[in-house]
Amino acid sequence: MPMSEEAKALRRVYQREYRRTHPEQLKRQRECTRQWQRQHPEKCREYQRRYWERKAAQENK
């Protein structure tokens, strides 16, 4: 079940505040993600390919 617009708005406010107050945590997450991407380039390419195939299929509907 999709989130209501009110729930989406509250989530955006919470996440914005979290990012503002926890920059060190976000820096660690970004570095971990970059490291994983460097170690798994073939998976990254496959995930991107699937994403864009899905987007193209949505456009064609």
Segments making up each domain of the chain, as ranges: 5-60
Instruction: Please give the model's pTM, rounded to 2 decimal places.
Output: 0.67
Q: What is the pLDDT of residue 3?
A: 92
pLDDT band at 1 (very low <50, low <70, confident <90, very high): confident
Q: What is the pLDDT of residue 61?
A: 84
Q: How far apart are CA 6 and CA 32, in angstroms?
A: 32
Q: How far apart are CA 33 and CA 30, in angstroms?
A: 5
Rounded mean pLDDT of the chain? Answer: 96
Question: Do 11 and 3 contact (CB within 8 A), yes or no?
Answer: yes
Question: Do 37 and 44 contact (CB within 8 A), yes or no?
Answer: yes
Mean pLDDT to the nearest integer, 28-53: 98
Q: What six digits make up the tokens of 21? A: 């107050």
Q: What is the pLDDT of residue 19?
A: 96
Q: Give percent helix, percent strand, percent coil of the chain, each to the nearest 5.
A: 90, 0, 10
Mean pLDDT to the nearest integer, 31-51: 98
